[in-house]
Amino acid sequence: MKILWQYLKPYKKQLIVGPAFKLSEAILEILVPTIMAKYLIDEGIARGDTGYVIKMGFVMLALAVIGLGCALVCQYNASIASQGFGTRLREAVFTHITKLSFKELDAFGTSSLLNRITNDINILQQAVAMLIRLVIRAPFIVLGSFVMATIINLKLGLIILATAPIFALIIWLVMRKSIPLYQKIQKKLDALSLVAAESFDGVRVIRAFAKQKREKKRFENEAEAFAAFSIRVGKISAILNPATLFVLNFLIISVLWAGGHQVHLGGMTKGDIIAVTTYISYIMTAMLVVADLIILFIRAGVAKERVCELLTTAPSIADTGTAEMELRHESVLTFQNVSFAYSGSEKALSHISFDLKQGESLGIIGGIGSGKSTLAALITRFYEADEGSVAVFGKNVKEYPLALLRQNVSTAMQKPYIFKGTVKENILQGKPDADAACIQKACAIAQADEFIRDLPQGLDTPTEEQGSNFSGGQRQRIALARAVIAEAPILILDDSSSALDYATDLKFRKALAAQYKGTTVVISQRISSIKNCSKILVLDDGEAVGFDTHNNLLHHCEIYRDIYASQTEREVSEGV
């Protein structure tokens, strides 16, 4: 709770004022049955004094109006506190997520992160509102009604008190059974969200292979599992209201029987009986509210654990570097005995060593799963090497602030992600302060200028979510322009021209070589994309099996020679 308190702390005033006014409203409400019994019924109606009855009626109306005002003040403060708390917490969680490394993001999963920042925080937000509005009022109504009923008649008060252990037992049994189920429900919701997200993101693949029925079945299975747990916990939670009503109705019968007997003997008035039964109805209503609050706070407890788990998860990559970057250092990129494995998997890279000098470019090639993209991710510290060291411009990447490192290492990802906005906004993510000339230059290098000119609104053409209104090649060229415009000293092209035809790819490489003066790291499946690089690193199953020039590798590296032989005939036939 200490973790969440810092987000509630700015609303201490609302946390005090809201419950105080709600308590005032509850006190006024508690007084009404006694005023009605002692004055309105036993004095006014019993004596037939119409004027007195009207007078006391106005008194009760005034109490109701004042109570309404108190309730509105409480509601206003509850809204400010709960909405403010939810907003601050949601912003904090989002900011924390952006600081997590890929390792933690992979562990949580996108669907779970989305549910924690939306559904879980919504539950906590609702719990804060109820904390201010009802947590004090409901118990006070129960306790106050019992005290007032006891003041009116001690024996009837003791009858009411005798039911308290029964209520406590019902609540304890429900909590014991439901808390573990609510934890499972949240996990099932994560799984359901994951299946839905995969189906929406992969809708083209699903339809291409006519797998709609299979995906529908997957979703139905997860939905049914989620529904089964929800129904199960719903059945348990549903016991609270009828069980509470049963006990309270039994209590009313007991009070009416005992009270009626005392009225007959002259020990109580009719007004007293009405007042006590009214207090029991107050207790009944308040207990139902308490039952609902218990369910809400059980869910909030589970949500709190999930949100706090996320907030207390520290990034595995610490941003503690303070070193400056010396761009003229002789070595641009150095891997020294680097090994890395994803969580729960075998090594993706094993003992990789090479040194890239100023003025050199690096090509990386290998089969699928050989570790090419993983190697690129280690340069920018998306992941941390398990063994060995990665150095950029002569210093270990751990010595640099992450922002500085990534400003000087621009990456065009293997999967081009286009954000909703405009073409221009997507390109400017690489360099927000770039002028029109820089944008034009980047588009020209990326071979994107021609198709952008043909767009209805040019650079201001809207881009849908994930660039769904553009072809794969167009998305890739926008992503290339975004990487090139940064003008970073190191440019990593992670198989980022795979959707381009050979002719366009060739134009891009020529334009890049002519206008980009930094160090290029090209990851590709195509020999033609990397053969002109100063050095080529050949990977096979995570190991470096060659590091040399194109011509030398043809003579000394069998794997490279096999890749070259398999592609040469196709490239010749396509006129490359």
- pLDDT digits 0-9 by tens, 65-86: 888 899 899 999 999 999 999 9
Examine the domain organization and report whether 438 and 545 are in the same domain: yes
- Looking at 311, 342, 359, the residue that finishes a domain is 311
Q: How far apart are the C-alpha atoms of 181 and 184, rounded to whole Å? A: 5
pLDDT at 573: 46
pLDDT bucket at 204, cuts 50 / 70 / 90: low
Q: Which range (97-101, 180-184, 313-317, 400-404) has the least confidence?
A: 180-184
d(CA 52, CA 98): 69
Residue 316 lies in a domain: no
Residues 186 and 252 in one domain: yes
pLDDT in tens, 464-478: 888 888 888 889 999
User: For residue 407, how far is the Cα from the chain centroid?
Assistant: 27
Shared-domain flag, residues 256 and 147: yes
- Give me the chain's average pLDDT, please: 85
State the pLDDT confidence band at 569, using cuts at 50, 70 and 90. low
Domain that holds residue 40: 2-311
Range in 26-35, 269-278, 315-324 with the lowest mean pLDDT:
269-278
Rounded to whole angstroms, how far apart are CA atoms 291 and 297? 10
172 assigned to some structural domain:
yes
Asked which of 49-58, 161-170, 384-393, 411-420 is least confident by mean pLDDT, the reply is 49-58
User: What's the whole-number mean pLDDT along residues 483-509?
Assistant: 87
| Pair (285, 351) in one structural domain | no
Both 416 and 294 in a single domain?
no
**Domain identity same for 372 and 426:** yes
- Arithmetic mean of pLDDT, 167-178: 78
Q: Which stretches within 312-369 are classed as H helix? A: none
Mean pLDDT computed over 528-536: 89
CATH of residue 506's domain is 3.40.50.300
Question: According to the per-residue pLDDT averaged within each range, which of 147-151, 307-311, 571-575 is highest?
Answer: 307-311
% of the chain with per-residue pLDDT over 90:
29
Residue 325 lies in a domain: no
Section 218-246 average pLDDT: 81
Same domain for 383 and 268? no
Same domain? For 422 and 533 the reply is: yes
Q: Are residues 344 and 284 in the same domain?
A: no
pLDDT at residue 356 in the model: 93
What pLDDT was estimated at residue 485?
A: 92
Can you give the pLDDT at residue 42?
60
Domain presence at residue 317:
no
pLDDT at 570: 54
Number of domains in the chain: 2
The whole-angstrom separation of Cα 368 and Cα 542 is 10
The answer to whether residues 414 and 508 belong to one domain is yes
Band (572; pLDDT cuts 50, 70, 90):
very low
The count of other CB atoms within 10 Å of the CB of residue 247 is 16
Across 355-361, average pLDDT: 91
Residues 6+ apart with CB under 8 A from 124: 4, 85, 86, 89, 300, 303, 304, 307
Q: What is the pTM of this model?
A: 0.76
Tell whether the model's pLDDT for residue 303 goes beyond 60: yes
CB 553 within 8 A of CB 366: no
Q: Tens digits of per-residue pLDDT, 388-425?
A: 999 999 999 999 999 999 999 999 987 888 898 999 99
Predicted local distance difference test score (pLDDT) of residue 50? 74
Least confident of 108-112, 388-392, 432-436, 528-532: 108-112
CATH assignment at residue 219: 1.20.1560.10
Tell me the average pLDDT across 106-115. Answer: 84
The mean-pLDDT minimum among 63-67, 205-209, 365-369, 430-434 falls in 205-209
* Buried-state track 157-193, b at ≥16 Cβ within 10 A, e below 16: bebbeebeeebeebbeebbeebeebbbbbbbbbbbbb
